[in-house]
Amino acid sequence: MQNIGIVGSGQMGSGIAYVCSLAGFNVWLHDISMDRINAGLDSIKTNMMRQVEKGIVSHREGSAALECIKPAFSYQDLSTCDLVIEAATENEEVKRKILTSLCQSLRPDAILATNTSSISITRLAAFTDRPERFIGIHFMNPVPVMQLVELIRGIATEDPTYESAKEFIGKLGKTSTVSEDFPAFIVNRILLPMINEAIYTLYEGVGSVEAIDTAMRLGANHPMGPLQLADLIGLDTCLSIMQVLYEGLADSKYRPCPLLVKHVEAGWLGRKTKRGFYDYRGEKPVPTR
C-alpha cells in the first residue's frame, strides 16, 4: 500500500492527508472544488509549520511531506490508489452518494474506507461495489495530534481488509482499537453523551459556560471543558452523532439537547464559524452564555 486517496479536504480530510504524507505515502486530495482543495492544502501547511515550530518534525521532513500531496480534480484521479478514505461531512446521504460514485473510478482490488464517526459501516458498505473491501477508519480530531484510530468492521468486511487497515495505521505511527459496528462506536458512544449532558447542564441553568468548563477541567482533570470541545468538534457534527445514537439505540438518554439544536439552526457551529458556546471573533474566546 503506497498510494492513498482522500475525499474531503476539510478539517479531518486535510489532517489525514498530512499524517499520511509524513509517513511517506503518496496522497491525492479531492473535494468538490479547487477552492476547497486549496483551503485544505493551506490547512496542511499550517499544521506542518506548527509541528516544525514545536520541534515535532524538522522543516525538511515537513517540506518533503507537502511534496507527497497532490490535488485530485476528479474521482478518476484516484484510480491508481490502493486505499481511498472518504472524509466528507457527517451526513449519511452525502456519504452514500460519494461512495456510490467513487467506486466506478477505483481499481477492483482497492480498499475503500470511511472516516465516519458514528454511521453504520455495514449500511454504508451496501452502497458500494466492494463491501468485503470496505471498512471504517475513524481518526480522532485533530488528526496530527491524536494517537488513536478506531477500526470498525462491517458485517461483510473480510480479514485481509482489516489486516491491511491495521498495518496502514501502524505505519502512521498511531494506535488502532477495534469497535463493533454499533452507533457511534466506542469513543463517541462515551464522549458525545457527556458533551450533550454538559449542554443540558447549561440549558437548565445549572452553570454558565465558563463554570461548566472550569468544573470539568479542574474537577475531572479534562484537558479542555466539554463545551470547548464541542466547539472544536463542530456543533453540527455533535448533533449528527447524537441523532445517530438516539435513532439507532431508541433510548431517550441520547436525545439531543434543544440548545444544541438551536445553535446548529442559528449556524453557530463552533470554531469553524467563529461562534458556538464561545465567540471566537475577538483576540480571546468569550463565552456566549
Q: Is residue 135 very low, low, confident or very high in pLDDT (cuts 50, 70, 90)?
A: very high
pLDDT of residue 270: 97
Contact, 230 vs 277, CB < 8 A? Answer: yes
C-alpha to C-alpha distance for 87 and 139, rounded to whole angstroms: 10
pLDDT tens-digit map of 85-128: 999 999 999 999 999 999 999 999 999 999 999 999 999 999 99
Q: Which residue has the cell 491508481?
A: 80
Q: Which residues belong to the active site?
A: 117, 138, 150, 188
pLDDT digits (tens, 9 = 90+) for 185-226: 999 999 999 999 999 999 999 999 999 999 999 999 999 999
- pLDDT for 36 beyond 90: yes
Q: What percent of the chain has pLDDT over 90?
A: 93
Supply the pLDDT for residue 88. Answer: 95
With 90 as the cut, is the pLDDT of residue 15 above it? yes
Please report the pLDDT score of residue 158 as a whole number. Answer: 97
Q: How many CB atoms lie within 10 A of CB 36?
A: 17
Nearest to 188 by CA among 246, 275, 145, 228: 246
Residue 243 in contact with residue 264, Cβ under 8 Å? Answer: no
Query: What's the chain's average pLDDT?
Result: 96
| pLDDT higher than 90, residue 79 | yes
Domains (range + CATH), the chain: 3-179 (3.40.50.720), 188-287 (1.10.1040.50)
Beta bridge partners of 139: 149
C-alpha cell at 223: 484537558
Alpha helices, DSSP H, located in the chain: 11-22, 34-53, 59-67, 92-102, 121-125, 159-171, 187-203, 209-219, 226-233, 235-249, 258-266
* pLDDT per position as a tens digit, 251-288: 999 999 999 999 999 999 999 999 999 999 999 999 99
Q: Is the pLDDT of residue 47 over 90?
A: no
Angstrom distance (rounded) from CA 56 to CA 271 = 25
